[in-house]
Structure 1
């Protein structure tokens, strides 16, 4: 195992100082996005003069904890685990590990999603939209609960990684406790056939994202007098993001070829991203519309809908080209170059326009998700700005990894496909 688990000699995220800043910064940013745009704080954004008063009040700090919200959140996580265990699902193979083994994954995230939507719909039908508005009312408590779960999981996986026979992530074995805990020391922490990393990537946070949006739409409906009073802007946000999640869950096998699964360990970075960041920051637009309804009208609604559809088409069609090519198919007759190691790199189609055309589609959708909130506040446009930074960072990580793998052939490839994400721009 010492040969299979060499000591990591390079850092990402500026090493331990960067890991510390992200570890502290992500929870602070999640809370800040709530208090910078909520009724409880007095607006979006609230008056700057009120912020020091809140932070200096001990009762404000106590209000971050909600026992009921914590119990509900942990029950939700247990429900997802139980659904994974009970619901039927195919077994698919992941990439070949350094040990020569191929990890098997049970795929039933979409079934879990449908079951959850069915239960939620039944509750709303039977008890009315006000029955699920508790998420809006206990928002901060749920944020704290998901943060607690992230810390517990990251810590448990870190300590378990020191047991003999564990396959470590090549980037998570530096010997620095903080950094390895943050980046993820073990590649695939598992309990029997239950793979912790792939489970968290798709189920608890991603499905909760949709459930939270539904709850926020119900909050707006309760205030306005019924489900038929939900605004067109809220319907757009709900439709766009629900479709995005549905698409990801339906195409669950595609997850097992991503960098998160094949090379990254599971530590606090992935745990807090999956469980806290995604469901409680990506729902910012719906939460804003719950207390600040916006009516767009047919023309603006159609324009935003077209923009989202263009982004989705680019995202899905480019990913389809890549997945077909990886599986030995080339229905469009795309051109490619062959490296000295025998790898094939696409140089036409979407992948001839840029190195990551799927990211371009993602960014167009991100903008479409925010436009329904109007222009009364810049805070609801946080997501596309953050997402652009995230994708640029991910592209640079991928560029570095591919250069190490392909050497001079990667330099030749970049001359054929010079643009990184957006053709003729970046």
Structure 2
């Protein structure tokens, strides 16, 4: 005959169920998909460096034309990057600087989104100040030592990639290990019981060391700001190679990227409502994405232009500026509508529907044209970042293709989550707003 647990034990069991419920399904293809991404993200980070270089050229057919040469370059190049002590010192010195900046630079504390167990975490908002400090130091180095004094990031690229991957692995292992401590709030999708998958997807929702939030810190600071510093280093390399001249294409790429990052950091608190923060745990998927993929893949166009300069001319420059302006306007205006509405304001008097839960969903404005109009703006900007590289090779457009896949996958995850949250109300909403990202097309 079975007996019921004592009230104290029952309460503990209920708390454990709330903090760490067993995950009901896999994402990203489960453990095989986790293994695939874990191996291919570092591989592509190296491949885009060694396979698109002044020595080997920048052709997507290179692996087919000369696979032995590319393999030898990858093999010995990666091994050499492990021996590049300067790169490791530079990278971990940079990471330490961003942590120190978080700690000592002034900033206000803001509360994030409500957790599923109730309550809200507090976050220090000073990423924009960290960016300004980084740019000031960079400018000082260039003024004192000249452009040649800031090419060291470009010169140690492969070693920096290797150091960032090592940092990503270390952080993912640490966060997985500490997630088994009592009282940890786990991500709904990160407690499957499969070690590889949970390590990859992230077991704990908000891993912290005191008030230092590891996930939000990595999302906004070391990788994003390093991306811009890498761009500047590439520009310095081009300036020296062209005997004191920067091409209009390099100016555009650096300006677009810098503006995008400054905008993201200035609006730092907007990240608190994103799926990465509210839903996903912090594992290798996010750590390698934040620390390796963002800085070293997103700066692909600037690195290409560093050894393959392109002159656009006035007409080309104006045209690309227009493309970026359109994308940025859609991205920022759509996010502005959403943030205003979430904060109880509706200055445009947009239409909306009320769900059975009492929550409201916008059905006019940008959010009446598609369910994810901000993704559309983001993708248009991706084209503007690649167009300055010209059309000699499609490699610099890798970001456009990758970003399209990323946005579609994120849209599918968003829609799935909303379907669970709103049920039949979501079906009704989808009939009102039929397009997912691109109005009338997708």
TM-score range, shorter chain: over 0.9
1:2 aligns with 16
1:323 aligns with 339
Unaligned runs of 5+ in 2: 1-14
Does residue 217 of structure 1 match 2:232? no
Select which of 120, 123, 129 maps to 2:138: 120
Alpha-carbon spacing, 1:148–1:2, altered in 2? closer, same or farther (3 Å): same
What SS does structure 2 have at the residue aligned with 1:319?
Answer: helix
Does residue 353 of structure 1 match 2:369? yes
Select which of 245, 255, 262 maps to 1:239: 255
2:240, 2:132 → 1: CA distance?
24
What SS does structure 2 have at the residue aligned with 1:103?
Answer: strand
Shift in Å at residue 101 of structure 1?
Answer: 2.1
Does residue 384 of structure 1 match 2:407? no
What SS does structure 2 have at the residue aligned with 1:222?
Answer: helix
What SS does structure 2 have at the residue aligned with 1:199?
Answer: helix
1:6, 1:249 → 2: CA distance?
33
1:157, 1:381 → 2: CA distance?
34
Select which of 138, 162, 165 maps to 1:144: 162
1:398, 1:47 → 2: CA distance?
37
With normalisation by structure 1, the TM-score equals 0.98
What SS does structure 1 have at the residue aligned with 2:276?
Answer: helix
1:192 aligns with 210
2:78, 2:275 → 1: CA distance?
37
Alignment length (residue pairs): 424
1:159 aligns with 177
Contact 2:58–2:393, Cα closer than 8 Å, also in 1: no
Alpha-carbon spacing, 1:42–1:370, altered in 2? closer, same or farther (3 Å): closer
| Cα-to-partner distance string for 1:69-121 (whole Å, 9 max, x where unaligned) | 01110010000000000001000001121332210000000000000000000
2:191, 2:61 → 1: CA distance?
44
Alpha-carbon spacing, 1:379–1:71, altered in 2? closer, same or farther (3 Å): same
| Cα-to-partner distance string for 1:114-146 (whole Å, 9 max, x where unaligned) | 000000000001110011111111111010000
Does residue 12 of structure 1 match 2:30? no
2:101, 2:58 → 1: CA distance?
39
2:40 aligns with 25
| Cα-to-partner distance string for 1:179-231 (whole Å, 9 max, x where unaligned) | 000000000000000000000000000000111001100000011112xx100
2:429, 2:314 → 1: CA distance?
45
Does residue 402 of structure 1 match 2:402? no
What SS does structure 2 have at the residue aligned with 1:53?
Answer: helix
With normalisation by structure 2, the TM-score equals 0.94
C-alpha RMSD over aligned residues: 1.2
Select which of 178, 195, 200 maps to 2:196: 178
Select which of 302, 312, 315 maps to 1:299: 315
Q: After superposition, where does 1:261-276 map in structure 2 within 5 Å?
A: 261-276=277-292
Shift in Å at residue 53 of structure 1?
Answer: 3.4
1:420, 1:44 → 2: CA distance?
34
2:12 aligns with none
What SS does structure 2 have at the residue aligned with 1:285?
Answer: helix
Shift in Å at residue 42 of structure 1?
Answer: 4.0
Alpha-carbon spacing, 1:241–1:378, altered in 2? closer, same or farther (3 Å): same
1:40 aligns with 55
Contact 1:217–1:290, Cα closer than 8 Å, also in 2: yes
Select which of 56, 67, 71 maps to 1:55: 71
What SS does structure 2 have at the residue aligned with 1:2?
Answer: helix
1:118, 1:99 → 2: CA distance?
42
Select which of 309, 312, 328 maps to 1:312: 328
What SS does structure 2 have at the residue aligned with 1:345?
Answer: strand
| Cα-to-partner distance string for 1:247-295 (whole Å, 9 max, x where unaligned) | 0000001011111111110000000000000000000100000001000
Contact 1:37–1:46, Cα closer than 8 Å, also in 2: no
Contact 2:301–2:389, Cα closer than 8 Å, also in 1: yes
1:335 aligns with 351
What SS does structure 1 have at the residue aligned with 2:81?
Answer: coil
What SS does structure 2 have at the residue aligned with 1:3?
Answer: helix
Contact 2:164–2:291, Cα closer than 8 Å, also in 1: yes
1:378, 1:43 → 2: CA distance?
9
Contact 2:50–2:70, Cα closer than 8 Å, also in 1: no
2:439, 2:60 → 1: CA distance?
35
1:61, 1:411 → 2: CA distance?
50
Shift in Å at residue 36 of structure 1?
Answer: 1.8
